[in-house]
Every structure is written in C-alpha cells, then in structure tokens.
Structure 1
Amino acid sequence: MATHLAFLRAINLGRNRKFPKADILRVVGEAGFTEAETHINTGNVRLNTSMRSIRRIEEALERAFLADRGFEVPTIVFRPSEFAEIVRVGAEVAAGNEGMTRHYVELLRDGMPPADARAAEALSSGDNRIVARGRAIHVLLGPDAQPGAAVPAAVARRIGTSTNRNFNVVRTIAHKWC
C-alpha cells in the first residue's frame, strides 16, 4: 500500500457545497482507500491505496465524491515525496522574497509546459511574485497587493484543474504526512 495526499477543490463554500470531514473520511473508505486522515476542513486528505496511478486515484475519488455529494469535487493527488518538494521549493522562494506578507500555493493536476511557466513568472511585479515549478505555482504577495487575487487571470486560464492553499497549511501538511 502506498500513501498519497489528495486535495479537494471548492468544498465547504456557501451552503450548497458542504462536505464535512467525517463524510470525506467515510466516502474515501467506501471507495476502497484505507487509513484516511484529514487536516482541517478544507479538503486535505492522506490515504493509502494499492493503486499506483495518480490519475486513477483522482478519478476514483472524484467518482465517489460525485456519487455521495451530487456535485463534482475536483481532486488533485500527490505522492508524499512530490509534495515535500513543493514545500522545499516554497521555503526557498519565501527566503528569497523578504517583505512579502502572504504566500499561496496553487496545486496543479498537471504541470505547466515550460513556456507557460515562464510566461506566468514573467507576470511577477513589485508586490506579486510568481514561481512555477512542477505541479505547483507559488504566489507571494506584498503588503500592498490586492487581496483575493493570488493567481492572475492570465495564469489561471493556462493551468487547468487546480486548488489553492496557504503555504503555512501546505508546510504543516508536509511535516505531518511526508
């Protein structure tokens, strides 16, 4: 059995997309995954499975979530080693950008082509740093950056299925589960 980390997108937003932790754990177990745990109620799940294909794991979870909830729950899955690398890069990026007050990580289902990653990074400005590596985009915002606009629209259109987490949450999950 291999451990994987799954990140659910757009749950517990408004009154129609509720997915409590207990229900997530129940559905994950019913779908055949074992030793599932959650971290806070934003769709961060650790699970074990004999499946090796990340895409197959994502598809199995999404089918189970849709059947239980009645709405789609896009899910992005990582191996612990890949997720730990996201945190290592994030710490390096943060250390090189003192003065930034917020750090978000956009977790991607698929990595960006190199040209798209370079184009995303070129959108960095004085109060906004973008670093695209593998299946993650680190966005650091300074004190004068507009709130709520972590990933610029020009980047969001190119990244496909993704979900966003605060870097502190990402780091905590890595220390807990990787």
Structure 2
Amino acid sequence: MSTWIGFLRAINLAGRRTFSPREIVACLEEAGFTDVATHINTGNVRLTTRMRSRERVAAAMEKAFAADRGFEVPVALLTPAEVRALADELDEVAAGHDGTHYVCLLAAEPDAQVRRALEALEAPGERVVVRGRAAHLLLGPDFHRSRLTNAAIEKVAGVGTSRNRTVVAAIADKWC
C-alpha cells in the first residue's frame, strides 16, 4: 500500500464548488481508497491505495471527484516524505522575508525552464522560490493585494493550488 497526500484545487470558494470534508472522504472511499482523512475545509486529504503511480492515483481521484461533484477538481499529489521535506524547508526558504509565505503545490514537477520562468516572476517585495513540486510565494503583508497569484503561477507551470505555511506545517505534523 502507498500513502499519498492530496491538495485539491478550487473547492469551497465563497460558497461555490462546495465539497465538504465528509463528502471528500465518502467519495474517495467509494472509489476504493482506504484510510482516508481530511484536514480543515480547504481540500487537504491523506489516503492509502494499492496504486503506486502518482499519475494513476491523481487520475483516479480526479475521476471520482468529477463523477461525484459534476465539476473538475484538480489534485496536486505528494508523498508524506515530500510534504515533510517541504515543511522542514519553510524557514530556510523564507529566511529574511517579513511578509506572508504561501506555497503553490504543483500538479507536475516543473522542468528547469519552467523553474527559471517561475523564479523570474516578481513584484516589489515579492518573489518565487521553487523547490521540487512547490513554488514558495514570498509575498507582501497582504495576500489579497499580491501580484504573485496562483493564476500567475499557473500561467507558467500549469495546475497548482496554494496553502499558507501554517497549513503546510500542520499537515506535515499531522500526517508525516
């Protein structure tokens, strides 16, 4: 059995595209996943499966979500070791940065060209640092005024979903 941690994109946004933690668990269990658990209402899920391929697991999850919800729910899928490593590097990546720190978890690991393009994105007082499947968004004090948005990251790297550093650390402490 393999264990995965999935980060669901674009659910529970201002009352739209609703998918409660209870419904996520039921959907994934119905699709054959086991040991399914969620963390808060932002689409964070841990599960086990006999499938070993990241691509197959993500595709099976996305197929189940589309059938259950009637809309696409893209998934960025990481191993517990990847999530633990991500949480362990949060302080190092943000060293010397006084603003907010979000992490955009990418569905696909960026190649060297995409990494360079992501790290070239910047705004006054803001920058992107890429480590593996994670684009660390080192932003100003107000996330909602940032110019380095999830949409800006997705234009360069494809599907991604963002979590603040507190959520990433909590998930690592809980499941890794």
Check whether TM > 0.5.
Answer: yes
Q: Give, as a single letter, the amino acid of the residue that structure 2 aligns with 1:110.
A: A
Tell me: CA distance 1:118–1:25, structure 2 relative to 1, closer, same or farther (3 Å).
same
CA contact (8 A) 2:123 2:148 kept: no
Q: Determine the structure 1 residue equivalent to 2:97.
A: 98
Q: Determine the structure 1 residue equivalent to 2:38.
A: 38
Q: Determine the structure 1 residue equivalent to 2:57.
A: 57
CA contact (8 A) 1:11 1:19 kept: yes
Identify unmatched segments of 5+ residues in structure 2: none
Task: Give the Cα separation in 2 of the matches to 1:43 and 1:153.
Answer: 18
Alpha-carbon deviation of 1:89? 2.5
Task: Give the Cα separation in 2 of the matches to 1:23 and 1:141.
Answer: 33
Tell me: CA distance 1:23–1:148, structure 2 relative to 1, closer, same or farther (3 Å).
farther
CA contact (8 A) 1:87 1:174 kept: yes
Q: How many residues align?
A: 176
Q: Give, as a single letter, the amino acid of the residue that structure 2 aligns with 1:92.
A: E
**CA RMSD, Structure 1 to Structure 2 (Å):** 1.9
Task: Give the Cα separation in 1 of the matches to 2:113 and 2:36.
Answer: 37
User: Is 2:85 the partner of 1:81?
Assistant: no
Alpha-carbon deviation of 1:153? 5.6
Task: Give the Cα separation in 2 of the matches to 1:132 and 1:168.
Answer: 18
Alignment match of 1:120 (pick from 112, 118, 121): 118
CA contact (8 A) 1:104 1:150 kept: no
Alpha-carbon deviation of 1:144? 7.2
Q: Determine the structure 2 residue equivalent to 1:158.
A: 156
Tell me the alpha carbon deviations over residues 57-88 of structure 1, each in whole angstroms, 9 at most, x when there is no partner.
11111111111111111111111111112222
Identify unmatched segments of 5+ residues in structure 1: none
CA contact (8 A) 1:128 1:145 kept: no
Task: Give the Cα separation in 1 of the matches to 2:71 and 2:142.
Answer: 37
Tell me: CA distance 1:118–1:170, structure 2 relative to 1, closer, same or farther (3 Å).
same
Single out whichever of 10-19 and 137-146 deviates more from structure 2.
137-146
Task: Give the Cα separation in 1 of the matches to 2:73 and 2:50.
Answer: 22
Alpha-carbon deviation of 1:146? 6.4
| SS of match in other structure, 1:157 | helix
Single out whichever of 85-94 and 39-48 deviates more from structure 2.
85-94
Single out whichever of 6-15 and 71-80 deviates more from structure 2.
6-15
**% same residue:** 48
Tell me: CA distance 1:70–1:173, structure 2 relative to 1, closer, same or farther (3 Å).
same
Q: Determine the structure 2 residue equivalent to 1:8.
A: 8
Task: Give the Cα separation in 2 of the matches to 1:22 and 1:124.
Answer: 38
